[in-house]
Structure 1
Amino acid sequence: MRNQIISYLCLCALLLAVFFILSFNSGFGYVYVQWLGWQVQSNMLVMLLALFVCVAVVVMLWRFLRKVLRRKMQKYTVPKSFRELHPYERMGIVWLLHGERAEQEKIIATYQESTLLYSLIQAKFCIAQGQTEQAKQWLKQIQNPLFELAELLKIDIALAEKRYAEALDRLEFLTVQPLSTWLKPVEAAYQIELQEKWLLLSQTCPWWIFKASHQPQFQCEQQQVWLHALLAQSEQASDEEQRLFLDWARQRLNDGAQSDIQENIILLKLMCQFHVFDAETAQFAQQLLAQRFIPEVLYIWLDKSLNQPVDIQVLDAQVQNWKVQYPAQPSLSFAQWHIDQRQHKFAEADALLNQFPDDAYMAYLRIQNTLQASEMLQHDLKVLLHYSKQDFKFDL
């Protein structure tokens, strides 16, 4: 529409220029019009301008009325064939049905005449079918103006072929590369897709994120996905990767960044997984418990603190404060029992065993107390607890 208006204005300007040349040294002439009692006296220049305006108004009104009538008719028109629909309408139906794979041939046929998109779409379908070599051949035909879209597909190919170093290099390049001018109107969608590629790399090879010179800015849910992947693959981390993670984690703690509570729990688990529980980490766990009572965090704090050279009176005072803040919590009785045992307060510890008969951990303590005469049975009991559904294990 905008291009048509510009073309019409250029045509009018050209005709006016020709009229000025023809009127040189002879004037604009004289026009007298009489119609239905109306009289108009003017010259050819004014009449031409009035004609241009009238034509423009008539054309605009016709286009508007045709658009309105077409929409009205479409409400009551039932298409007799899928082929009768406009190509964009056909693609919209496929998109609504999530039928990209099932209707692959229709999509390819629609864009077969597009020199810009045809190779990209073919490569996309080849990657979805695991045919990475064919996808590479299609991408070789891509022209330079589409290199960002081609790079996104090359990242998919690298991840599918487990070439994580190449995927990381391409992601870093796109992250710092200014977006092409013609893609600016869809920059938001492009950034979302780029972020999804980072998230895919963080799931398949999470430790490689620390090797990136430009780390992605994940949202809360994405950050949790990445941290869960780190926890799941923590045993595969090299010493260098562990060091990079611990530096990153300490930096976050020093910066005091506001994070989601679940994200902080996973971060604490990872730090303890690498046998890091210093005063700073203990303070971090206590801050989490001050925000919200989380039994899982309490068990981690208790397990690690009892194995540190910390005054048992300090631990006892901390548990007593939490009992005041969070009354009637079986997890705190579980922690108090271990602290009383360390302080040789066996009578107080035995009294705690009568509390919370339906709690699994208190039941564990009662069984352990009953089987204390047999070290082998106590060991078996710890093994059962260690291999429960907990994703973080402790050895109390």
Structure 2
Amino acid sequence: MQKFVIQGGRRLEGDIQVQGAKNSALPILAASLLCNGESVLENCPGLSDVYAACRILTSAGCHCDMQAQTVRVRADAPHTAVIPEPLMHGMRSSIMFLGAMLGRMQTCTLGYPGGCELGPRPIDLHLDALRRMGVSIREEQGTLQCTVPKGLHGARIHLQFPSVGATENIILAAVLAKGETIITNAAREPEISDLVHFLQCCGAKIEGEGSSTVRIRGVKQLSGCTYRIMPDRIVTATWLACAAAAGGALRLTGTDAQSLEGILDVFEQMGCRCSRNEDSICFSAAGPLRAVRSLRTMPYPGFPTDAQAILMAVLCTANGTSVIEETIFENRFRHADGLVRMGADIRTAGRIAVIRGVDHLHGAQVSATDLRGGAALLTAALGAKGETVLTEIAHIDRGYDAPEQVLSAVGAKIERR
């Protein structure tokens, strides 16, 4: 079982090239199953979730090869629409393969997806939408057996909640379906737009990405293409949070400031300096930061739930009292216990967390409970006094490509053991 050993209190200075977005790479990998010919995905991060997605593609009969940051997928003749339970359980985003397999092979058998335990994240939105498109779904001994007796057809689908996963799954099922599919109250996240841009490059007819209404007109086939995955806005926010917690100045390159406006605004409220350029951000933090009186996680373009934990880590030593309301997922304050072990003053009640800033945090032995919670503990450890031992770091590896190397290069003292 690997762990990080971090010596806190060292300023971070230098440049970081931001990795490709995990939350784009995974649905785009699923989308490659829909394409004849070769899909070449550039700027693909080397994450355990990405490797799991590649194994799912291989199990379906595709050829999948990853070299450096480029993944090549050939899905000329996928022959297996059964996703083995161990592969399905490895990550939550594996549910994306349901829409893709139904679109390509008209059938799919799979277990329930795994991933972080963040409270109920029902897939009923996915299943209800697919039923409207002609999918027959039977649950048997913990597996979902899905078939399309009369072929996929377009439908008008209103989502009760703008779910990212449900929006993506509907798009994946609809691009090869007969007729037009209209999604209302669709999620608007930039990663959905990235998925759509890939599919458009492959020949899909989709309009309205980035808005709450998306229209998909089914086509007969898609062809592979070469596509560069967008930068990861949550990883960008994490490196900014690390600099805010430890102090210092970073220049993040290969990023997209426009997709980060809501996050950058909060850092500026805290007293950090953010200079935005077309594909880079210059960031500096010095001295005590200010508390954020009220912060509420919301679907895009609101403050992202995935950045909530890392921001909490920074607020632990800000002057004043901060209040965070988590509206997206239940059970997403599990990292608070680890921060308290490091000296933070945090009280949680349901979906509300109250953080009273303290003078400093101290090193401790803590464990990552999920991906973003682990990143929060790593962030806090960089600014804490003394040594922190962070265990269960496999959670962190699901979303961050060699974080110890990235941080060591800008002055952190962190070791993987």
Shorter-chain TM band = under 0.3
TM-score, length of structure 2 as denominator length: 0.21
Task: Name the structure where strand makes up a greater proportion of residues.
Answer: 2
Q: Who wins on radius of gyration, i.e. which is larger?
A: 1
Task: Name the structure where helix makes up a greater proportion of residues.
Answer: 1
Relative contact order (C-alpha < 8 Å, sep 6+): which is higher?
2
